[in-house]
Every structure is written in C-alpha cells, then in structure tokens.
Structure 1
Amino acid sequence: MFIVPERDIADLMTQEAAYDAVEKVFASMASGDAYNFPVIREAIGHVGALYGFKGGFDRAGLTLGLKAGGYWPENLERHEIINHQSTIFLFDPDTGRVSAMVGGNLLTALRTAAASSVSINHLARKDAKVMGMIGAGHQAKFQLRAALKQRAFEKVIGWNLHPEMLPNIEEVAREAGLPFEAVELDGMREADVIVSITSSFEASLAADQVSPGTHVACMGTDTKGKQEVAPELLARATVFTDEVAQSVSIGEAQHAVAQGLIAEGDINQIGAVVNGTHPGRSSADEITLFDGTGVGLQDLACAAAVVALARENGTAIEVEV
C-alpha cells in the first residue's frame, strides 16, 4: 500500500491536474462507465461532528475506493486545525486489497473548486466579464482561484453574511490583478458568473437577483436541509449537476423538487456536456445552474492522480499490509 500524507499534497496536486481529473470522471459518469455509491453522512453525537463516507467505482479508470471524514466545528478554535477532515482510501478493483491511503483535506478543496470550474468552462458565456462570489470562507478562495482561470474576467464582486470575511476573496482578486467590490445581494445582477459557497440552511440569493445569461454554480449544499438559492431560480434556469440522485436528495435541487417547481428529469449531468451528448448552453440569455453536491468519484480521481505522481517522483510511502 502507498501512503501520500496530507503534507505532500500541495506539492503534488495543481488546480490544472484537479480540473483534468474531475472533468474526466464527470464524463465517465455520464457515459455509464463510473458510478457513485450511496452517501452515508451522520451526526455522531460528539462535539457536534458530522461524519460519513463517499465512494464509487470508475470502470474506465479502474479506480475503486472511498473518502471517510466530515466536519468538526470546534477544530479551528480548540485544536488549530481546519474543521473539514478527511482521508481517501483506494483499492485494487481486481483483488479488493487496499492500494493507497491519501490525505483528503486539500484534495477536497481542490476537487470542489475544480467541479465548479468545469461547469464554468462548459456552461458560462464566452464573453463573461464579471465574477460574483457568495461566501468568503476557506473554500471560497479555492473556488475563486479556479473560476478565474476559465474566462477573461475583468472584475470580482462579492457578498458574505459576515462582511468582515470579504478580504479573503478580495485577496484572491488582487492576486489576479482584478478589482474587487463588495456588494449587496441585489448587486449580483451585474455578475455573468456566480459561485455560491456557503453552509447556509436558508436561501441567500433570490431568483430576481440573477440576470439573464448568468451561470450560477451552487457549491455549498451537500446535506439535507441546506440551501443557498431560492427554488424559483432553479425553475428559471437550465439545471446541471454532478450526480442527479444526490442533487434531488441532498443538493440544491432538493427544495425545488420538493415544491414541484422542477422534476428529477429536468436535471442534466454536467458530464453529458463534457462528452458532447448534451449541448449545454443554448442561448446568450439562458440562465444555467450547476448543483455541485460533491461526489466520491471526484475524490477518488484526484487521489489516484496524486498517487501516480507520488510514485513517479519517489515520495509515496510504501508499507506492507
């Protein structure tokens, strides 16, 4: 078994490598070559933690495994480590033996950002100029860095429930040489692309705060009850997702489906756009929305890429099991 510890991930995995891994696995999912297992996510009744498992199998890439981990809300304050903690395990699909254990914290951030980046590349208007961010936490910085690579943006605007956190995304905008403006939610009408990355259980963005032609990536809703945008926005938009089953059960679409505003059959796989079986955006005025629920196959694809790189440069730790 090969071990790639968390400390080595930053030197091995780039935004570009994460994008390639996620885009390929989305295409495999849409073509039926890869599938995710049902998600397990539970409140364990200890220190407010949520713990669970995401896994799957990619026949095309012969990648089998799972990610174990979750959210420990007291970590940063009490232990000075990030609240999201996870580890990815890969298995040999021919024998079932464990083949790798990979630190999953940075990989989770990179693969989540890569997913929205894939959606922007395939669904946003080519002439998109204004990038909008809703949310300014740890993951928002990864999201913005990845998003800015997909279009020739000229400006970044941002809103956060706690505005004192907005310097987090302003810093990323400045790194890219772009002006940043803090706005109220009504100001999001200026945005050509909006990424929402919050942990909210109540909608922030209303349907009438999104202009025609905008691409919206909802990346924070991954649990039953969570919600970032009004259900009416999904009714206005052409909706895409990573995994339809997760979208309607734990993703942003859960609310619109429950209210009868859209049906499960109205939701499209982003992988179908990647592999050309869905045309994607059909007009300059169409609102497109990506419901990024986060699937185990994203983690496995990125972990497999990291293991290959670590073995190639000799940094993977080999142990007998």
Structure 2
Amino acid sequence: MIIVPEREIPALLTREASYKAVSDVFAAMASGDAYNFPVVREAIGHEDALYGFKGGFDRVGSTLGLKAGGYWPGNLEKHGVINHQSTVFLFDPDTGMVRAMVGGNFSTALRTAAASSVSINHLARKDAKVMGMVGAGHQAKFQLRAALEQRGFEKVIGWNYHPEMLSNLEEVASEAGLPFEAVELEGLQEADVIISITSSFDPILLENHVSPGTHIACMGTDTKGKQEASAELVAKATLFTDEVAQSVSIGECQHAIAKGLIKEGDISQIGAVINGAHPGRSSDDEITLFDGTGVGLQDLAVSAALVDLAIEKGVAIEVDL
C-alpha cells in the first residue's frame, strides 16, 4: 500500500493537476462511466463533530475508493489543527485490495476550487473582466487563485459578512497584479463572474445583486438547509451541477425545488458541457449558475493523481498491509 502523507501534498499537487482530474471525472460522470455512492454524514455526539464518507467508482480512471472525514469545530482552538479533517482510501478495482491512503485536507481545498474553475472555463462569458467573491475565508483564497486563471480578469471585487477578512481576497488579487475593491452586495452587479463560498443558511445573493450575463458558482452549499442564493435567483438562471441528485437534496437547488420554482430536469451536469453533449451558455445575457455540491469522485480523482505524483517525486511511502 502507498501512503501519501498530508505534509507532502502542498508541494506535490498543483492547480493544473487538480483541474484536469476534476474535469475528467465530471466528464466520466456525465457519460455514465463513473458514479458516486450514497453519502453518509452523521453528527457523532462528540466534540460537536460531523463525520461521514463519500465514495464512488470511475471506470475511465479505474479509480475506486472513499473519503472519510468531517468537521470538528473546536480543533483549531483546542488542538492547533484545522477543523476540517479527511483521509482518502483508494482500492484496486480489479482485486479489491487497498492501493493507497492519501491525506485529504489540502487536496479537498484544491479540488473544490478546481470545480468552480471548470465551471468558469466552460460557462463564463469569454470577455469576463470583473471577478466577484462572496465570502473571504480560507477556502476563498483557493477559489480566487483558480478562478483568475480562467479569464483575463482586470479587477476583483468582494463582500464578506466580516469585512476585516477581505484582506484575504486583496492578498490574492495583489498576487495576480489586480486591483481589489470591497463592495456592498448591490455592488456585485459589476461582476461578470461571482463565486460564493460561505457556510450560510440564509440567502445572501439576491436577484438584484446579479447582472444579466453573469456566471455564478455557488460552492458553499453542501448540506440540507444551507443556502447562498435566493430560490428566485436560482430559478432565473440556467443551472448546472456536479451531480443532480446532490444538487436537489443538499445543494443550492434544494430550495428552488422545494418552492416548486424549478424541476430536477432543469439542472444539467457540467460534465455534459465538457463532453459537448450540452451547449452550455447560449447568449451573452444569460445568467448561468453552477451548483458545486462536492462529490466523492472529485476526491478520488485528485488522490489518484497525487499517488502518481508522489511515486514520481520519490516521496511515496510503501508499506505491507
């Protein structure tokens, strides 16, 4: 069995490798060559932790496995480690034997950013110039770095419930040589692309915050009850997602479905756009929305790439099991 320790992963995994792995697995999902297993997620009644499993099988990538982990809200304060903790296990689909154990913390951040980046590449207007961010936490920095590589952006604007955290976005914009401006939510009308990455249970983005032709990537809603965009805004957009079943149950589309504003058939897989089976954006005035719920196959694809990189770089640890 190969072990790729968490400490080695930041030096191994690039945004380019993450993008390719996520794009390829989305395409495989849309063509019916890969599927996710039902998600298990439980409050364990200890340390207020949420713990669960995401897994799946990709025939194209010959990838089988699961990600185990969750959220321990007191970790940083009590133990000095990040609150989100996860580990990925890969198995040989031909024999069922365990192939690898891979740290899942840093890779989760990159695969989440890669998903929104894929959606921007395939759905945003080609002339997009202003990048908008809703949310300015740790994950927002990964999101913004990946997004800025997809278009010739000239400016970054951002809003956060705690304005003092907007320095995170300004730092990334500065790295890219771009100006940054803090705005009120109405100011997001200037944006050509908007990424929302929050843990909100109430809608933040409303119809009057978004201009025609905008592409929105809602990346924070991954649990029943969470919500970043109003149901009315979701219903106004042309909708895409990583996996439709998750979009309607735990993703951004759950609320518009519940209100009867949209049907499950109104949501398309982003992989269908990658494969050419769906045309994607149809006009410059169309609002497109990607509901990034996060699927286990993303983690498996990125972890499989990490195993290859670790072996190539000589940092993989091999053990008998």
**TM-score computed with the length of structure 2 as normaliser:** 0.99
**CA shift for structure 1 position 82:** 1.0
Q: Secondary structure at the match of 2:120?
A: helix
The alignment yields a C-alpha RMSD, in angstroms, of 0.6
Alignment partners' CA distance in 1, 2:72 and 2:168? 22
Give the residue type in structure 2 aligned to 1:53. F
| 2:210 equivalent in structure 1 | 210
Superposed, which structure 2 residues align to 1:160-309 within 5 Å? 160-309=160-309
**CA shift for structure 1 position 261:** 0.5
**TM-score computed with the length of structure 1 as normaliser:** 0.99
Alignment partners' CA distance in 1, 2:135 and 2:76? 18
| 2:110 equivalent in structure 1 | 110
| 1:137 equivalent in structure 2 | 137
Alignment partners' CA distance in 1, 2:37 and 2:68? 13
Give the residue type in structure 2 aligned to 1:179. P
Runs in 1 of length 4+ with deviation above 4 angstroms?
A: none
1:190-221 deviation per Cα after TM superposition (whole angstroms, max 9, x unaligned): 00000000011111111121000000000000
**CA shift for structure 1 position 18:** 0.1
Q: Secondary structure at the match of 1:170?
A: helix
2:94 matched to 1:94? Answer: yes
Alignment partners' CA distance in 1, 2:11 and 2:164? 31
Alignment partners' CA distance in 1, 2:314 and 2:154? 41
| 2:37 equivalent in structure 1 | 37
1:58-117 deviation per Cα after TM superposition (whole angstroms, max 9, x unaligned): 011110000001111111111111111100000000111110000000000000000000
Larger deviation, residues 233-242 vs 38-47:
38-47
**CA shift for structure 1 position 52:** 0.7
Give the residue type in structure 2 aligned to 1:131. M
Corresponding residue pairs, total:
321
Superposed, which structure 2 residues align to 1:52-63 within 5 Å? 52-63=52-63
**CA shift for structure 1 position 45:** 1.3
| 2:23 equivalent in structure 1 | 23
2:150 matched to 1:150? Answer: yes
Give the residue type in structure 2 aligned to 1:264. E
Give the residue type in structure 2 aligned to 1:170. E
Give the residue type in structure 2 aligned to 1:29. M
**CA shift for structure 1 position 289:** 0.1
**CA shift for structure 1 position 315:** 1.1
| 2:127 equivalent in structure 1 | 127
Give the residue type in structure 1 aligned to 2:70. G
**CA shift for structure 1 position 314:** 1.7
Alignment partners' CA distance in 1, 2:12 and 2:157? 31
1:274-308 deviation per Cα after TM superposition (whole angstroms, max 9, x unaligned): 01000000000000000000000000000000001
Q: Secondary structure at the match of 1:7?
A: helix
Alignment partners' CA distance in 2, 1:17 and 1:93? 22
**CA shift for structure 1 position 311:** 1.2
1:162-196 deviation per Cα after TM superposition (whole angstroms, max 9, x unaligned): 11111011100011010000001001100000000
1:213-260 deviation per Cα after TM superposition (whole angstroms, max 9, x unaligned): 000000000001111010111111000000000000010000000000
Unaligned runs of 5+ in 2: none
**CA shift for structure 1 position 34:** 0.2
**CA shift for structure 1 position 313:** 2.1
2:82 matched to 1:82? Answer: yes
Q: Secondary structure at the match of 1:102?
A: strand
Alignment partners' CA distance in 1, 2:201 and 2:104? 25
Give the residue type in structure 2 aligned to 1:64. L
Alignment partners' CA distance in 2, 1:79 and 1:131? 36
